[in-house]
Structure 1
Amino acid sequence: MQQLMSDQRSIAYFSMEIGIDEQIHTYSGGLGILAGDTIRSSADLKVPLVAVTLLYRKGYFRQKIEADGWQREETAAWDVEGILEEMPQRTILMLEGRTIHLRAWKYEVKGVTGFTVPIYFLDTDMPENHEWDRTLTHHLYGGDEHYRLCQEAILGIGGIRMLRALGHQNIQSFHMNEGHAALLTLELLDEHTKKDGRAYLIEDDRKAVRSRCVFTTHTLVPAGHDKFPLDVVRRVLGQREDFFALEGVIHDDFLNMTRLALNLSRYVNGVARKHGEATRLMFTGYSINSITNGVHAATWVSEPFQKLFDKYIHIWKQDNFSLRYALSIPKQEIWDAHMEAKKKLLDLVNKQSGVQMDENILTIGFARRAATYKRADLLFHDVERLKRISSQVGKIQVIYAGKAHPRDYEAKKLIQRIFQAKQNLNGDIKLVYLEDYNMTLGAMMTAGVDIWLNTPEPPMEASGTSGMKAALNGVPNLSVLDGWWIEGNIEGVTGWSIGEAVIGNGENRDHSLDAASMYDKLEHTIVPMFYNNRDQFISMMSHSIAINGSFFNTHRMMQEYVLNAYFLC
């Protein structure tokens, strides 16, 4: 199939952050990594997609952790000109009555067959702009609500205008990956009115825009749903009373970006079955579906397992479903590949920390964005019991990583508590917190530990993708039944559950029982199996790949978007 011309692209994918390359610092965590994996699978599957995001010249931040466990942030600038291609096209938008000049930089993602998907990074750092306006594409999730609204206007409004300038005139579906991009609906409304020669909105405009938009919501945390006071909105966007009068645009005197996207999208989905159900309870009256997230298999499978899959499952990169044949791979070769990945990780850990972890000891991994609801410190709820398990049942060592948002002081305190736990363990259990969690470290950890731990407060976990990466590398999950793990857990086959499942909105679930459940699984099942029944443990590794790896990937996810969301009439 020949590469599509630019004006033949039919899907535009908008995301505030995209994690596509370790050298491109335009992501903070799971949302951006998912976006990158989505784009990679689109290229592999020849989905006619174009992606839009912001440039973030100074990145998110580099994480430094002080001796007392307190996180410190450093600028994460990167080589824009050396990595991306500047496009000659220009466009403008008005913010606060000022003209903002906009350019785009292109990065092409090549799929397994050579098909490419372009990503356009929007940039305001140009001499034509006022000094403050030039900073609007400097920092991911930086500044106050005024700065953030300006960024979201650049992404949504400026993104549509840049696509038009680049020649993408025939987009059928505009996919908003979270509500940050919801202002693209305003630009589409304007396009529709101008096409009809009007300067005002009518109901048909709303219907026309709604028929072209797809919206994916990712969070149940209230702070994750952006909303802006009307005075700030009017200051930035101008007096758009016709727009504000549309049903559902203004909610409780705020421009709520999630509700804006909900009201102007023909297809809305959560990112796991349980998340879709919980989102319907959160936003009653809307038709909300679910498409469970995945990860890009070829990106997150470690080199030892890539070689193993190439040997036994030749088409696994093109057809992720074929990973179900992992059950036929000899168990010793599964274990040898795992130990190769584990040694690589522990070499890094020992070099950076000097802790000297042992490759023969059961290693638990926990790495994700630091947020209080993820309960990274649950493992240390009862330090004495944890020490007793390690001394009497089988030795345990633990590796942590994860960044806290610079202004999330509770999350920073959470990281500190893990450092304090290290002191309380008194060397009985080796513990390391690796700083500056990124794509490379994430790939090493999800492949190199023996057990992947996940302990969110349900139902707050939208999906969770780190555990999917672990499963692809044969690492069983020990997780609370939330997000994707409700679908992925087959007890004692693909991993183990912590606590009871959530029913409804989870109000009657006793989260305080989770720590005891976790310790019970470690003491009576996981640690004894690892040390005393290696054959059964490797069998679980094989099933993690064959059952979860073959399904929880972005190839399957993109096929669902194509079938259910992108090409509806």
Structure 2
Amino acid sequence: MKAIRRFSVRPVLPEPLRPLQELARNLRWSWHPETRDLLRSVDPDGWTSGGEDPVRLLGTVTAGRLAALAADRGFLRRLGVAVEDLRDYLTEPRWYQQTDARAGGELPRAIAYFSPEFGITPALPQYSGGLGILAGDHLKAASDLGAPLIGVGLLYRHGYFRQSLSPDGWQQEHYPVIDPHELPLTPLLEADGSRARVSLALPGGRTLTAQIWQVQVGRVPLLLLDSSVAENGPAERDVTDRLYGGGSEHRLLQEMLLGIGGMRAVRAFCRLTGHAEPEVFHMNEGHAGFLGPERVRELGELGIGFDAALRAVRAGTIFTTHTPVPAGIDRFAEDLVARHFGEGGELASLDLQALLGLGREPLGAAAPGGQPVREGEPAPFNMAVLGLRTAQRCNGVSTLHGHVSRGMFAGLWPGFDAEEAPIGSVTNGVHAPTWTADATRRLAEGSRSDTELWELRRSLREQLVHDVRARLRASWRQRGAGQAELGWVDEVFDPDVLTLGFARRVPSYKRLTLMLQDPDRLKALLLHPERPVQIVVAGKAHPADDGGKRLIQELVRFADDPAVRHRIVFLPDYGMGMARSLYAGCDVWLNNPLRPLEACGTSGMKAALNGCLNLSVRDGWWDEWFDPDFGWEIPTADGVAAAEPERRDAIEAAALYTLLEQQVAPCFYDRGVNGAGLPGRWLEMVRATLDRLAPRVLAERMLREYITGYYAPAAAAHRAMTAEAAGELAAFAERVTHEWPGVAVEHVEPGNEPPTLGGSVSLRVRVALGGLEPSAVEVQAVTGRVDGDDTLAEPGYVPLKATGGPDLAGRWTFEGELTLNRPGPFGYTVRVLPAHPLLAHRAELGLVAAAAPPG
């Protein structure tokens, strides 16, 4: 018999223990070891059985235990120290309050950070993979630096799915119900004590209402919107049921709630708490893209027209794209979007066609999310395109991904080379206090002899072995095995064997089964008599991705083979708790995506924090920071490319096997170098990883780059973009666009040639400007080396100056000199661009007029 309603009966804490609630409800405990140790000591068994969740722990601890702790003077002293430490952490000035590193101008008073998922702790299961974990690390780093972020997301009543395996190795999904009252959440309340709400208008007179929950992540408030409220009908109540669940309309409603409802939640939070209103709005992927149109609507209510409001909104908005994979970008049928934003829907005060135009994919462009749009075909509404068109500053998440993104979205800026697309990059980072094992952290704070380092690595590997056995046993029991059949599990893995880890989501491009290309060769590696390898694998396929599920099943069936099952395992239900164990205990982190489809790949960064070496394709972050002292690169067969994917996989798998056979395993097992029975070169690489690589991969480094390179300039632009300035810029853009067909480079008159190194070339250019004045444009000479096709490489830009007035035909003359500082083939061209002090990038308006090539 099942209960029809569930709730938690919480004990009342004795007065001396009340501060425990303060510690438990601020998620700083999840990355602060001393607080975590204190909470664990309340009830060690309850801590473990409750999933290391202090809110759940305090809800189940016995009255007798509470009475004993309330009388324990030693415990109360530790509690007092922990609470004072938290209060100091929340109030003392930190880097943000003290820094003079204001390269982009005055720092913003507040920043709103929107993400569809946040991975902060397993106790708050609101994440599916790297995007959410990155968002969680972003908030934690902001808290540690004192940056005034407000996080905004959705509260999913079923979270992401829990994974198990069927007897034949097929992924099974389970969606446990999440009770907000059992989570570290506090409802946002109105002044009268009622719960704060936001509402969205839906077609047919329906309304989508959501309540606002608040989570405290150190110094950072996180607002989560929850549609499971009595005011909603059944369909609306289920909008926030599952992360990335449902069909197109369900996803559209989720993204409307995140962007539009999230903006309204931020306004309510600031009104009710007195928090500073954000000046900067950061979209972590396109899922929150509707926050831009919502802000346009807000400004419209102040009497500002659509174009001017859009310019004002763009000034303070940042968009981060996380994927070069089309399946990772949400695209909706335009008629579906029109139905929800047309008459009777949301944002009805906005011009519908103007709004649809913000997300419409350009005709014929290299598709940013699918096949190119052809003439006469309906153009999808693309959430990444919406993000790019409503943000003045955009970035990818590694140097390589920035390059890939510029090519992927180049069609939004026709006439410009892909590398000029206004998309920069900030390489992701990871939050060291979250992902570094306590033992690694303690050793890093003291001396690190080779012996100590090797003993640490073996100890962490041994802990991983015990964790693997426990998880594997539980998995086999779920698959139907009896306890008597599982004695072999006690022999799985060996704490002295080289251990590889591979754990991530399971889309096809991450190539979970590349290691299975040659099963016999893999078996030989696993069972080598002197230099064996053991591999732990984990990952979830999207519930709708049967292809990904087949890859898992293929891997599981291989790992089920009695001949190798003690050397390779698949662990179901990959999440943050398992990840920490893998990152700490593995010797080598394996990553073999199809290059360049891994935007960043932060799991290898987290492993590196613990001295784990990387073995990876040169993709994402590893492309920019690879060093032979940190690990190995898997050669890629880029020339084979997509035309022969099977051959490419075979070539790259063979390269992986060769690396393991000839370099990785021999390095780990070579114990004769230093005479102490230790692998000298291996330990040199571990030390280099900890000392030189780990400082680069930190989320604090990432956030400082966002603050100085994106947040500060965006705040300055936001402040400069008054209603008057926005109107002026909108009028400028309209006028320039109207006049641009009359703009042309009509003649280029070069100076004396051939030039010599160190000399210069004088240019005299006649330009037609239509009805524009020279002050409205910049005339540039674009210079650089040229290849055999006369394509400019590594171009430089030299502004040319207007001389005199227009001639009788209305043409203007511009002059300048090109300095020749490099020998060899050299070339130049001339072009005209719009120029206005409030434009952040030369390609921002997508207008350019270039000199015609000869012939």
What is the TM-score normalised by the length of structure 2?
0.61
Structure-2 separation of matches of 1:478 and 1:192: 51
Paired position in structure 1 for 2:454: 335
Is the 2:492–2:566 contact (alpha carbons within 8 Å) kept by the matching residues of 1? no
Match of 2:586 in 1: 449
Where 1:120 maps in the other structure, the secondary structure is: strand
| Correspondence for 2:443 | 308
Aligned twin of 1:244: 353
Q: Secondary structure at the match of 2:528?
A: helix
RMSD: 2.1
Alpha carbons of 1:34 and 1:501: their partners in 2 closer, same or farther (altered >3 Å)?
farther
**C-alpha contact (below 8 Å) 1:163/1:169 kept by paired residues:** no
1:484–1:501: structure 2 CA closer, same or farther, 3 Å change rule? farther
- Note the C-alpha offset of 1:429: 6.2
**Conserved 8 A contact 1:193-1:205:** yes
In the alignment, which residue of structure 2 is the partner of 1:296?
431
Residues 291-321 of structure 1: CA deviation (Å, up to 9, x unaligned): 0001100100012112112335xxxxxxxxx
Whether 1:557 and 2:661 are equivalent positions in the alignment is: no
Correspondence list, 1:414-433, <5 A: 414-423=551-560, 426-427=563-564, 430-433=567-570
Once the two structures are superposed, residues 240-277 of structure 1 have per-residue CA deviations (whole angstroms, 9 ceiling, x without a partner) of 57243255432252211100110111110000000000
State how far apart, in whole Å, the 2-side matches of 1:376 and 1:188 are: 42
Contact 2:517 2:650 in 1 (8 A): no
Q: Per-residue CA shift, 1:394-432, capped at 9, x if unaligned?
A: 111110111111000000000011012225682286111
* Secondary structure of residue in 2 paired with 1:73: strand
Contact 1:387 1:428 (8 Å CA) reproduced: no
> Residues 281 and 505 of structure 1 are in contact (CA less than 8 Å); yes or no, is this contact kept in structure 2?
no
Q: Quick one: structure 1 residues 452 and 123, their matched pair in 2 at CA, closer, same or farther if it must change by over 3 Å?
A: same
Matches within 5 A, 1:25-36: 25-36=125-136
CA distance in 2, matches of 1:362, 1:141: 37
Q: Deviations over 1:24-79 (max 9, x none)?
A: 11100110000000100000000010000000011111101122110000113334
Determine which of 683, 701, 711 is the counterpart of 1:538.
683
Give structure 1 regions of 4+ aligned residues with deviation exceeding 4 angstroms: 501-511
- 1:24 equivalent to 2:124? Answer yes
Once structures 1 and 2 are overlaid, which stretch shifts more, 238-247 or 228-237?
A: 238-247
- Where 1:195 maps in the other structure, the secondary structure is coil
Deviates more, 1:67-76 or 1:237-246: 237-246
Deviation at 1:380, TM superposition (A): 1.5
Q: Kindly indicate whether residue 333 of structure 2 is the aligned counterpart of residue 235 of structure 1.
A: no
Q: Deviations over 1:495-553 (max 9, x none)?
A: 00001486999989945421111111111111011111411111111111222211111
Instruction: List per-residue Cα deviations over 1:339-369 (Å, max 9, x = no partner).
Output: 2221111101122322521101111110001
Q: CA offsets per residue over residues 464-486 of structure 1, 9 Å max, x none?
A: 01000110000001001101111
| Residue 439 in structure 1 maps to residue 547 in structure 2 | no
Q: Which residues of structure 1 form unaligned runs of 5+?
A: 111-115, 313-328
- Could you tell me whether the CA contact under 8 Å between 2:115 and 2:287 is conserved in 1? yes
In the other structure, the counterpart of 1:317 is: none
Aligned to 2:293: 186
Letter in 2 for 1:270: G
Instruction: Quote the residue 2:162 is aligned against.
Output: 62
Distance 1:467 1:117 in 2: 27
Which of 124, 130, 146 aligns to 2:249? It is 146
For residues 189-237 of structure 1, the C-alpha deviation after alignment (integer angstroms, 9 at most, x for no partner) is: 00111122x6xx4321111010011000000110111111122112223
Q: What is the Cα deviation at residue 238 of structure 1?
A: 2.5
Q: Deviations over 1:142-191 (max 9, x none)?
A: 11010000000000000000111111562111000000000001100001
1:330 Cα offset (Å): 1.7
Alignment of 1:45 onto 2:145 = yes
Contact 1:278 1:504 in 2 (8 A): no
- 8 Å CA contact retained: 1:272, 1:290: yes
Structure with max Cα Rg: 2
Q: 2:654 aligns with which of 500, 508, 516?
A: 516
Distance 1:155 1:428 in 2: 44
Give the superposition deviation at 1:372: 0.9
Q: Distance in 2 between matches of 1:3 and 1:523?
A: 53
**Compared with structure 1, are the counterparts of its residues 53 and 3 closer, same or farther at alpha carbon in structure 2 (3 Å cutoff)?**
farther
User: In 2, are the aligned partners of 1:278 and 1:505 still within 8 Å (CA)?
Assistant: no
CA distance in 1, matches of 2:137, 2:301: 36
The residue number in structure 1 matching 2:177 is: 77
Q: 1:563 to 1:506 in 2, by over 3 A?
A: farther
Counterpart residue number, 2:317: 213
**What are the equivalent positions in structure 2 for 1:81-480 lying under 5 Å apart?**
81-82=181-182, 83-88=184-189, 89-96=196-203, 97-110=205-218, 116-167=219-270, 170-196=277-303, 201-239=305-343, 242-245=351-354, 247-251=357-361, 252-284=378-410, 285=413, 286-311=421-446, 329-353=448-472, 354=489, 356-389=492-525, 390-391=527-528, 394-423=531-560, 426-427=563-564, 430-480=567-617
Q: In 1, are the aligned partners of 2:292 and 2:390 still within 8 Å (CA)?
A: yes
Which SS does the other structure have where 2:146 is aligned? coil
User: In the alignment, is the contact (CA less than 8 A) between 1:363 and 1:450 conserved in 2?
Assistant: yes
Q: C-alpha displacement at 1:278, in angstroms?
A: 0.5
Q: Which residue of 1 aligns with 2:847?
A: none
TM, length-normalised to structure 1? 0.91
Q: Which amino acid aligns with 1:401?
A: A
